[in-house]
């Protein structure tokens, strides 16, 4: 059986920056509150550019292909993870394909919120291990800032999220390296603790004055509940992945957690009793970019030479659903 490994990864974030001070002019919040509670200093935003996740993904993927000196015709399949799709139907994968000029290859959309990247990698890994495809583009891309409630009612959520995209090339190899395992979970009992319920096909009238007044089209989060579950599930799913591979925390060279809150990453680091410099964080610069966050963090960890060949790298996610997962990689 073949192995699958991440040949390279690149990311793109829009130029416009939203600082905590910018947000403080829109709602009752402060730089100090945001930094202390989340670790976030700024986030990027598509602003008024009308760019969607497919556009950001094209920019990230073009960077990636340039780095790899690879022609787009060599890509066999695309897995596109986003929770903020350009269209309600079809998914952003088809739009990305058209914008990228990819000839009739298959595209698969993943709607797993903050766990989109781990779920996406897991699916792509199976396609490679079963020798269905050789080169798969796995993308996490989000435009959150156009949909947030930048008002006092939404301040608990709006300050967290940012826009960005990451694209990696998962490639087939005979070498003893690459994705060792993926463990995926969900618990739908907590859907309403982190969700955006409208538009919805359940109701005949979705765009009503009442729904807009009730801000149903914005994302809603029960922050404390999400935090509580996140710290538990991150630890659990990382240990599950390590255990499956007969590895211990001491074997781990780098953990790349979904960037949800610096305090969550710190808690997980302490719970695992692992060195602080082995849990990567860049949330201060980007906020929570949902499906893109692990890819952006992995990309920066590589740029900073924090990951070397042969290293054990663990990607871990938790988010809406709740859905969570881990991917253990021998780099």
- Best CA proximity match to 299, nearest among 31, 40, 64, 28: 64
Contact segment (CB under 6 A) with ligand UT7 among 117-125, 182-190, 256-264, 308-316 equals 256-264
Answer for which of 288, 289, 323, 326 binds ligand UT7 (CB under 6 A) is 288
Residue of 2, 320, 36 lying closest to 179 (CA atoms): 2
Total interface residues for ligand UT7 by CB under 6 A = 18
128 near ligand UT7 (CB under 6 A): no
| Residue 29 sits in the site that holds ligand UT7 (CB under 6 A) | yes
Bridge partners of residue 138, in order along the sequence: 79, 168
Determine if 102 is a binding residue for ligand UT7 (CB under 6 A).
no
258 tagged catalytic: yes
**Cα-based angle 143, 54, 294 (whole degrees, multiple of 5):** 60
Taking the CA atoms of residue 285, residue 54, residue 46 and residue 314 in that order, the dihedral angle to the nearest 10 degrees is -10
Residue 285 appears among annotated catalytic residues: no
- When asked if residue 315 is in the footprint of ligand UT7 (CB under 6 A), the reply is no
CA angle, 186 then 289 then 313, to 5°:
70
Q: Is 110 in the site for ligand UT7 (CB under 6 A)?
A: no
Stretch that binds ligand UT7, among 45-53, 88-96, 120-128, 221-229 (CB under 6 A): 221-229
Decide if residue 159 touches ligand UT7 (CB under 6 A). yes
Phi, psi of 132, rounded to the nearest 5 degrees: -75, -45
Catalytic: which of 3, 114, 135, 261?
A: 114
Active site residue 114: yes
Look at strands 164-173 and 135-142 and give their pairing. antiparallel
Binding site for ligand UT7 (CB under 6 A): 29, 33, 37-38, 114, 155-156, 159, 223-224, 226-227, 230, 260-261, 264, 288, 319
């Amino acid at each position: 059986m073949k192995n699958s490994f991440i040949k390279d990864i690149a990311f793109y974030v829009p130029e416009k920056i939203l600082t905590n001070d910018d947000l403080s002019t829109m709602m009752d919040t402060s730089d100090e509150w945001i930094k202390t509670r989340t670790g976030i200093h700024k986030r990027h935003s598509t602003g008024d550019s009308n760019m969607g996740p497919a556009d950001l993904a094209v920019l990230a993927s073009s960077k990636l292909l340039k780095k790899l000196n690879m022609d787009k015709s060599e890509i066999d399949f695309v897995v596109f993870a986003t929770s903020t799709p350009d269209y309600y139907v079809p998914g952003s994968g088809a739009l990305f394909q058209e914008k990228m000029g990819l000839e009739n290859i298959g595209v698969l959309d993943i709607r797993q919120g903050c766990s989109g990247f781990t779920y996406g990698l897991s699916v792509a890994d199976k396609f490679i291990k079963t020798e269905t495809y050789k080169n798969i583009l796995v993308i996490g891309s989000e435009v959150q800032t156009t949909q947030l409630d930048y008002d006092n009612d939404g301040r608990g959520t709006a300050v967290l999220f940012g826009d960005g995209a990451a694209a990696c090339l998962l490639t087939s190899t005979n070498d003893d390296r690459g994705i060792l395992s993926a463990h995926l979970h969900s618990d739908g009992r907590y859907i309403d603790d982190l969700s955006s319920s409208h538009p919805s096909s359940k109701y005949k009238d979705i765009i009503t004055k009442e729904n807009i007044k009730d801000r149903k089209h914005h994302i809603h989060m029960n922050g404390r509940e999400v935090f509580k579950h996140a710290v538990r599930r991150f630890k659990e799913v990382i240990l599950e992945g390590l255990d499956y591979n007969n590895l211990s925390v001491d074997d781990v060279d780098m953990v790349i957690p979904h960037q949800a809150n610096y305090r969550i990453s710190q808690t997980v680091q302490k719970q695992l009793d692992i060195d602080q410099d082995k849990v990567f964080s860049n949330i201060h610069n980007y906020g929570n970019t949902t499906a893109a966050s692990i890819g952006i963090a992995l990309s920066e960890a590589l740029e900073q030479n924090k990951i070397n060949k042969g290293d054990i790298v663990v990607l871990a996610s938790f988010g809406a659903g709740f859905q969570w997962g881990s991917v253990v990689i021998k780099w």
